[in-house]
A = this chain, B = another copy of it.
C-alpha cells in the first residue's frame, strides 16, 4: 500500500486532468483493460482496445483528451499521450525494484587493472571484467557478462546477464544491453586467395552513444578498422545483425531479425521494421521509414516510407501489389479480346 495512489495523486503524477472521478478506490497496481480490477490503473492507447475499455473493471483509466466514455465506476484521467503517461505510472510502482545496490559479488572476476568504483557500481556473480576495462559510476554488470580488455562503459549503464562486449569497444551513458547480445565480434570479412577464404583482421571497434538500448542476442560487429557506430538514443530490438563499419544515426528504431550489411549508413530518426535486409555500402536518409521485410539494394532518400524488394516508395509498392493481385482479371480481359478478334466480323 506504500505505493498506493489516490486519483488526485495519479493526476499530478501524469500531469493530466480529471474527466470523471469514478468509485474513488485507492489505486495500488497496473493492469491491462481486460484484466484490471477496481484498484488497478489502466490506459486506452489504441482504438483496438475500445471494446475492452467499455467493459473494463479498472479503478482508473488514462485516456486521450476528449475521451468521456467507459463505465461510470471507472475514473478517467486525460493526458496528451496515454501510453507515455501510463509508463510513468508503471515506473512509480516499479521504483523500489529498480534501485541499484552497489557492490562487487565475491564470485565476480575483476582484473586488478580494471577501473571500477566499488562504492557506486554493481557487478554480479560470474561477471568477468578484463584488464584495463573501465566501468562508469552507477552502472550494473549482470551475472556471467563478459567485459573485454580496455572496454569503456559510461555511467548508469545496465549490462545484463550473459552479454559479451569484446576488447576496446566504447559505450556512452545510460546504455542498456539486454541479455546475450554481443558487441564487437569480428566483422565478416575475407579475401579469396588460392582457393581459400583468408580472414581479414578486424582491428576496429564499436562505439555506442548515450541512451542506446540493444536487444537480447543482437550482434554488432566491430569495424575492420575505424569504428562501427550506433548513434545516441537509437533503440535496437532482439536478434538484429549490424555488420562491420555500419554507421547508424541518432534516435533510430531497428526492429527484430533485421540485417544491415557492412558500411551501410543510416541517418537520424530512421525507422526500420522487422526482417528488413540492407546491402552494404548504401546510404539511407534522415527520417526514412522501411516497412517490414523491405529489401534495400541502393541509396534511399530521407522523409519517405519504403516497401518491397528492391525498395520503392510504399505507395508505388502498394499499387504494384494491387496490379499483381488483379492479374487473373487481366488475363480474362485478354482472353475476351482474343475471342472477339477471332469472331467473324
Interface set of A (CB-CB < 8 Å, partner B): 30-32, 35, 46, 48, 81, 83-84, 86-87, 90-91, 93-94, 105, 107, 109, 124-126, 128, 130, 142-144, 146, 148, 160-162, 164, 166, 176, 178-180, 182, 185-186, 188, 190-191, 193, 195-201, 203, 211, 213, 215-217, 219, 221, 224-226, 233, 235, 237-239, 241, 243, 251, 253, 255-257, 259, 261, 274-275, 277, 279, 281, 292-293, 295, 309, 319-320, 323-325, 327-328, 330-331, 333-334, 337-338, 340-341, 345
Contact = CB atoms under 8 A, between A and B. Distances in A.
B328 A338 contact: no
B323 A319 contact: no
Given A277-B275, A320-B327, A198 B84 contact: yes
Contacts of A238: 182, 185, 188, 219, 221, 241
Contacts of A162: 144, 146, 162, 164, 180, 182
A193 B84 contact: yes
A235 B190 contact: yes
Contacts of A86: 200
Nearest to A91: B201
Given A219-B217, A226-B31, A251 B196 contact: yes
Given A162-B144, A219-B215, A323-B328, A188 B90 contact: no
Contacts of A176: 186, 199
A66 to B, nearest CB: 19
Contacts of A217: 180, 182, 217, 219, 239
Given A215-B185, A216-B219, A217-B182, A196 B341 contact: no
